[in-house]
Structure 1
């Protein structure tokens, strides 16, 4: 899944004397339940679970209390094909730093994987392989949750509810749908390809996300998510929602707008690495679906394969190496990959490589890639050989995600007028 500029990465502290003291002892005040009216035990336990994710500090005085809340991010990658360098540099590598500043939910979007023809025999294996790669790359389960999208059924339920309020014109304008349907042909395109931006919106809004790390090519889908959140808030939120007993979904964030059902999330695009390009065409994004494996570096490629792909990748006939020359897309792409893999600044790489020839630079780049990916590959083999550990991680992640998701879903059902279960 892959966002605009984020203004701050700080923790947010707010005071809420009415709610905090009871919550710190693990209970919800009676006044809170009265606002909701009649609820069954299942819904009550869901809400308690949702509230328990808020970090509560001891009150500073008898009159005020402080809640320290991390902003929440969600993101995911499809399990189809091999996870490649573009997925890693454009998404997963950035998650490693983001998990230190945010409450993070990272999932494997297996429901998105079936929008185009796929191999059903391989889906389960690919899903677990992707989860293992998340962990091998450095996702820390003490800081972030990892789970499988289809293990939280609220994703599909919320998608249906959102679909009822999504104008068909919004979906018809999606660029990716136009491109993929044109390639596949109308007879080979399912309805899911048209409606999967609604599922993506469900993935995000379900968790009341503050920010979503996405690539440049997902900005349009992110904008649709924001529009849908605002549309649902306008159609079913506000005074109508409050009269039905609903509370503001933003009550813990310090934003006191009345009766909002969803947070309106902000996109988060990394400054570098947001779009890693193909090794065979510097104008095309590195992709799992590209017919030639030569176009990408897969994270699990052996070192000899990596070296061979870099040796054979497309370059140009200009002398020297430079960033940001529109006539040299391959040069800019390979330098950017080297910059991200080595952790150096753009200026440092430009100075080091400006007088190099392609033969020297390709050797340097291949060695850097092999050195960087080797520990990931070793850790991956350890994880994938311990299925009980991996299953436990996914179960724990899905359990936490379900708590948050069910609270949101029940709110939406109530706001839209459904009879409570």
Structure 2
């Protein structure tokens, strides 16, 4: 059975929080380590630090490198293995920009404007206008995916429109530019619907966000996790310990469902509903369970933070591996499009093709 290939990525925003962990990172580790029935890896996994993508919403680049390293340390702490999974910055593999430019010729602005995810971003960010780069960021995502011949894309249901754009671009490229030796350059990637565990913020908002200050970071020690958990929103009708509570509307209980055992959750729900369990004790137990799961991550983070030269070397080696794969793809693209040395016209610039 052929090994499928996955590319996943995140924008470099610095240290990661529990929302990143349950929403994506732990799934990445599982995919990296998953084996097929024959004992081989089920997926080749590539992980992208999407620093170009940060420019679609902010032109400030002062902290991008530091944030990239912080995020990389969290990836390593969570269990991403550089021997199995190259990790690299988008900006350091120039083939991303080249393929993005070529793909931009294969899709209309009207098609991009119909992207429902883009419409939601414009609404949520209260944008009066957008740059060409922001409008075209699904095209850059398509280049990210297809540059590594990824044929499986793990996404939540809200991201399916992006995968469909990638499939359309791959199909159009293959139809217009068949390779002279083997036809299609790109496979049309299939979405792999993943039921990401979305965690609400400590304030009960829809999601954790550093900008809202409602996060627990993967790097938070137990005392900080407990301090933050004490501020978490609970059932507003449960004012005192003996009041009957409603676990189904409690933010803390939503964390219990992810970080506590089923038996613990059953006991906590019963104690909350009867009034036997107060919110203070409930939060203490939740914080302890979160810290227990984060303990090995903290240990690995401490190791890597003391060895930042090793972290940087992991990044540079991942980028070298990525460039090798990316350049092979681009050679196929240039051959299919009849671009490059063997096909260039020297007369236009009055220079040699060699």
Q: What TM-score comes out, normalization by structure 2 length?
A: 0.82
For 1:341 and 1:75, the matched residues in 2 are separated by 24
* SS of match in other structure, 1:103: strand
* SS of match in other structure, 2:8: strand
Q: Deviations over 1:361-398 (max 9, x none)?
A: 32221111122223312322321332221122112211
Deviation at 1:272, TM superposition (A): 4.7
Mapped contact 1:96–1:138 kept (Cα < 8 A): yes
Deviation at 1:263, TM superposition (A): 1.3
Question: Mapping of 1:311-350 within 5 angstroms?
Answer: 311-316=230-235, 317=237, 319-320=244-245, 328=249, 330-331=250-251, 334-342=252-260, 344=261, 348=263, 350=265
Q: Which residue of 1 aligns with 2:283?
A: 362
CA separation of 1:81 and 1:119: change in aligned 2, threshold 3 A: farther
For 1:154 and 1:100, the matched residues in 2 are separated by 28
For 1:146 and 1:390, the matched residues in 2 are separated by 11
RMSD over aligned CA atoms reads 2.4
Superposed structure 1 runs of 4+ greater than 4 Å apart: 318-323, 347-350
2:189 aligned with 1:265 = yes
Q: Which residue of 1 aligns with 2:208?
A: 286
Q: Deviations over 1:193-223 (max 9, x none)?
A: 1111111111111111121223343222222
2:294 aligned with 1:352 = no
* SS of match in other structure, 1:90: helix
Mapped contact 2:117–2:161 kept (Cα < 8 A): no
Q: Which residue of 2 aligns with 1:155?
A: 96
CA separation of 1:321 and 1:375: change in aligned 2, threshold 3 A: farther
For 2:75 and 2:204, the matched residues in 1 are separated by 27
Question: Mapping of 1:380-399 within 5 angstroms?
Answer: 380-399=301-320
Deviation at 1:321, TM superposition (A): 5.3
Mapped contact 1:209–1:265 kept (Cα < 8 A): yes
Q: Which residue of 2 aligns with 1:82?
A: 15
Q: Which residue of 2 aligns with 1:20?
A: none
Q: Which structure 1 segments of 5+ residues have no match?
A: 1-11, 13-68, 248-258
2:137 aligned with 1:196 = yes
For 2:267 and 2:157, the matched residues in 1 are separated by 28
Choose which of 317, 321, 335 in structure 2 pairs with 1:400: 321
Q: Which residue of 1 aligns with 2:219?
A: 300
CA separation of 1:351 and 1:192: change in aligned 2, threshold 3 A: same
For 1:216 and 1:355, the matched residues in 2 are separated by 33
For 2:264 and 2:150, the matched residues in 1 are separated by 36
